[in-house]
Amino acid sequence: MKERVLSGMRPTGALHLGHYHGALKNWVRLQSEMECYYFVADWHALTTHYESREVIEKNVYEMVIDWLAVGLDPSQCTIFLQSKIPEHAELFTLLAMGTPIGWLERVPTYKDQQEKLKDHDLSTYGFLGYPLLQSADILIYKAKYVPVGEDQSSHVELTREVARRFNHLYGREFDYEQRVQAVLSTIPPESAKRLEKSRKKFQEAGDLKALEGALGFINEQTQLTPQDRERLTGYMKGTGQEILIEPQTLLTQASRVPGLDGAKMSKSYNNSIAIREEKANLEQKIRRMPTDPARIKRTDAGDPSRCPVWQFHILYSNESTQEWVQKGCKSAGIGCLECKQPVIDGILREQQPMFERAEPYMSNPKIVREIVENGTDKARQVAQATMRDVRSAMGLNY
Ligand code: TRP
Ligand code: SF4
């Protein structure tokens, strides 16, 4: 069984090279290695842009086409829409009941984003709940890994806390103690005694070796049902059953993509290059990029370390071109326009297959809708199964 991965993105419309190098490249790589679920976080978009109903649909499908363009393959990964699986909202609501407000107020993105997006009123209930909705997204698929950037790791951390609390509160059946004792009575008394000793050593003195030994032993007891083994495991750890899985962040090695001005590439800074930027626009954008301010005249020498174009050479040029830039810039041997051409060529080369992959979807948008519908149906099955466990654990299956 492959391990499960889940990630999502808010639908901001056409994506840019920052999304590609910062996240999507990684998503594409993971799809062949693990069981991947990728979804459009359209409700999350509403937490900050709840008034923009005209563009959301267009943004959703533009983004999915970009996903397909960079190489996400619906036969290898599941692509779906958050808002078409109301179970996410159900889990969010149920988790909200036991989540202290302080946990949400302390998530660093809460205050940061309020500061940053001053022109939006973000003192809403939905915005406070943003990371908890994200927790529901992750937990409902029992995902083991969440590939996200550093900025999202506090949300995954909150997700772990929420899962731990849930398992602690609801991971034990009301007759849990009796059931555990019943399982223990089916194994040889000597072994049961040793397990009890190990449990104390771990829970009272934090002895991890003792825990490992005990879990190893439990795993070998193939005569027990999987449920009973899980029960015993929870008993050893002191956690009860793991109904929700604590996920790990799969940090994307940050290949920082600079914007046209050298700051981080971002749509809101107006310094971005779209994944499928028109050739003429691309050329114009690169040619207008600022360079080392010291190079006022063609004959002035410069220094690539003070030039945003160099950041692009790091991403797109091979060693010999990079050497050519270093030498030519410092000796005023090359002009800036000349220096920019290999960057333009490099981006065009990277984009070529993306345009080709996107073409059939652009000319037949119905296929895109079908891909999303099929993915959503598949994801919904998983979400519904988790919700059955959750409702039952919370005493709601009447
Ligand atoms: N908050 C994420 C972002 O802004 C999007 C997101 C929503 C997400 N739910 C998620 C990412 C679940 C990973 C897992 O990029
Ligand atoms: Fe930048 Fe290249 Fe011009 Fe040097 S030659 S300032 S690296 S664009």
Q: Which residue's CA lies nearest to atom 9 of ligand 1?
A: 134
Confidence of residue 285 (pLDDT cuts 50, 70, 90): very high
336 vs 287: CA distance, rounded Å: 9
Residue nearest to atom 8 of ligand 2 (CA): 336
Span 192-203, pLDDT tens digits: 999 999 999 999
CA of 339 to the centre of ligand 2 (A): 6
Rounded-to-integer distance, Cα 90 and Cα 87, Å: 5
Does residue 390 have a pLDDT over 80? yes
Cα of 88 to ligand 1 centre, how many Å?
Answer: 13
Same fold, 4-169+245-256+364-393 and 276-362: no
pLDDT at 254: 62
The token duo for 289 is: 């990029």
pLDDT at 120 over 90: no
Could you tell me if 80 and 37 are in contact, meaning their C-beta atoms sit under 8 angstroms apart?
yes
For the chain, give every domain's residue range. 4-169+245-256+364-393, 174-237, 276-362
Ligand in closest contact with the CA of 45: 1
Q: Which atom of ligand 2 is nearest to the CA of 313?
A: 7
**Helix (H), strand (E) at residue 37:** strand 35-40
* Domain over 4-169+245-256+364-393 is classified CATH 3.40.50.620: yes
- The preferred substitution site among 286, 292, 300 for testing ligand 2, maximizing ligand atoms within 8 Å of CB, is 292
* Measured distance CA(210)–CA(55) in Å, rounded: 57
Residues with CB under 6 A from ligand 1: 6-10, 41, 44, 134, 137-138, 146, 148, 152
Sign of the torsion angle spanned by Cα atoms 355, 343, 305, 308: negative
DSSP letter at 16 equals: B
Task: Convert the pLDDT of each residue in 306-346 to its tens digit.
Answer: 999 999 999 999 999 999 999 999 999 999 999 999 999 99
Predicted confidence (pLDDT) per residue in 2-61, tens digit = 899 999 999 988 899 999 999 999 999 999 999 999 999 999 999 887 767 778 999 999
State how far the Cα of 162 lies from the Cα of 139, in Å rounded to an integer.
Answer: 9
Q: Output DSSP code: residue 65.
A: H
Q: What is the mean pLDDT of the chain?
A: 94
Measured in Å, residue 303 CA sits from the centre of ligand 2 at: 7
What's the rounded mean pLDDT across residues 220-233? 90
CA distances in angstroms from 53 to 49, 126, 377, listed in the order given: 8, 16, 24
H or E segment at 375? helix 365-393
pTM here? 0.86
Task: Note the helical H segments in 140-207.
Answer: 153-170, 176-184, 189-205
Query: pLDDT at position 130, please?
Result: 96
Q: Does domain 276-362 have CATH number 1.10.240.10?
A: yes
Q: Ligand 1: distance of its center to the CA of 8 in Å?
A: 5
User: Ligand 2 centroid vs 340 CA: distance in angstroms?
Assistant: 8
Closest CA to 252 of 39, 9, 26: 26
Supply the pLDDT for residue 55: 82
Closest residue by Cα to atom 4, ligand 2, is 329
Residue 255 confidence (pLDDT) above 70: no
Q: Verify whether ligand 2 is closer than 6 Å to residue 309 (CB atom).
A: yes
Find the ligand nearest to 134 CA. 1
